[in-house]
């Protein structure tokens, strides 16, 4: 049975690891959004679909970032992220 810990109980290195995992997930989500949410800017550029390879790579990074966050929360806090 894993022991649940609160964020206040983490060392500075553990808090940094958790922060990096959250940041990686945010960055991956924003990268995928940038490829899929195309809002034309009048007079500046024409919206085009991203290549399938770029979408696949961004999706894979998002999945890996989510897995990293789950691992960090499980190992450091003894819990799984909700969702």
Is 55 within the bounds of a domain? Answer: yes
Measured between alpha carbons, how far is 80 from 83 in angstroms, rounded to an integer?
9
Average predicted confidence (pLDDT) for the chain: 88
The range of the structural domain enclosing residue 26 comes to 10-38+48-76
Is 83 within the bounds of a domain? Answer: no
How many other C-beta atoms can be found within 10 angstroms of the C-beta atom of residue 72?
19
Q: What pTM value is reported for the model?
A: 0.81
**Structural domains counted in the chain:** 1
The answer, yes or no, to whether residue 82 has pLDDT greater than 80, is no
Tell me the three state secondary structure of residue 46. coil
Is 4 within the bounds of a domain? Answer: no
Q: In which band, very low, low, confident or very high, does the pLDDT at 39 lie, cut at 50, 70 and 90?
A: confident
Is 3 within the bounds of a domain? Answer: no
Q: Do residues 4 and 34 touch, judged by C-beta distance below 8 A?
A: no
pLDDT > 90 fraction of the chain, expressed in percent and rounded: 64
């Amino acid at each position: 049975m894993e022991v649940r810990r609160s964020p206040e109980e983490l060392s500075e290195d553990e808090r940094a690891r958790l922060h990096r995992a959250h940041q990686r997930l945010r960055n991956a989500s924003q990268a995928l959004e940038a490829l899929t949410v195309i809002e034309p800017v009048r007079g500046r550029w024409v919206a085009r679909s991203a290549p399938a390879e770029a979408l696949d790579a961004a999706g894979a990074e998002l999945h890996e970032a989510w897995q990293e966050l789950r691992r960090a929360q499980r190992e450091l806090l003894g819990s799984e992220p909700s969702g």
